Amino acid sequence: MGKTTRMMLAALTVATMLTACAGNEDEGGGESASSTSSTSAEASPADSSPGDSETSTELDAAAKQAGVDPTDPPEPIASVTMPGAGGGANNAPTEITLDLLSLRRDGDLLVLNLGFTPKKGEPTSYYGWTTTRWAPQIIDTTNLTVHDVVDSESGSVSTGTGPLGTKVGGGQTLHLYAVFAAPPQDVETVTVKPADGAPAFTGVTIQ
C-alpha cells in the first residue's frame, strides 16, 4: 500500500506522533475474518441505483486514493453489515455492508482498507447514511491496546475524498482507508472495529 497516497507516505515521517489508547475492549458481536461474504455484490438491480456520472467519478477517485483499482477491486477478506438510512426524501432504512479488503503492516504503521456499500437508496455521503463520523479502531488483543487513527500535524491520516463529501448510492461502493500505529512485530492478529454501529472483525491477520 506504499503508493496509496502521498498523505500515507508522509505519515511515515510522523511515526513518533502516533497515538494509541490502552484498555480492554468488548469484542461481542464480531465476525471472524476467516469467513467471507459477497453481500455487497448481491444487490439486485431493483435495489440498486446507478447514480450519475459525477457520483461515479467521485467513487473512482476515492478508490484510487485508497490504493484500489475501481475496475478490479480486491475480494473481501470478510464482511459485516450494519443498519443505515437510505438517503433521499424518504430516507428509508437500508442495510450497509462493510467489506474488509486489507490490513497491511507498513513499517511502524498499519494501513486499513474498507469497502462501504449501501444496499439501496439515493446517492448521499457516508454521514447521510450513518449519521455518525468514521472512526475505525484496531484492537491489539494480545497487549490489550486500542489503536485510533494516527494523528499528524495536518490531522487524522485517513481517507480524504470521503466520507464527508463523496456520495455513494445503493449498490455502489465507497472505498476508505485509515492509518494506525502498528502493534509489536510478534502480534499477528488483531480485531478491527470498522465503524460505529458495525460489528467487529475478529482474528484479522496482519498482512
Reduced to 3 states, what is the DSSP secondary structure of residue 156? Answer: strand
Cβ neighbours, 10 Å, residue 163 = 22
Cβ neighbours, 10 Å, residue 143 = 12
Query: Which amino acid is it at 105?
Result: R
Q: Where are the domains of the chain?
A: 6-205
Cβ neighbours, 10 Å, residue 190 = 25
Reduced to 3 states, what is the DSSP secondary structure of residue 40? Answer: helix
Digit-by-digit pLDDT tens for the chain (207 residues) are 444 434 444 443 333 333 333 333 343 344 445 433 333 333 333 344 444 677 888 899 899 989 999 899 999 999 999 999 877 677 788 999 999 999 999 999 999 999 999 999 888 888 888 888 888 999 999 999 999 999 877 777 888 655 567 889 999 999 999 999 999 999 999 999 999 999 999 999 999
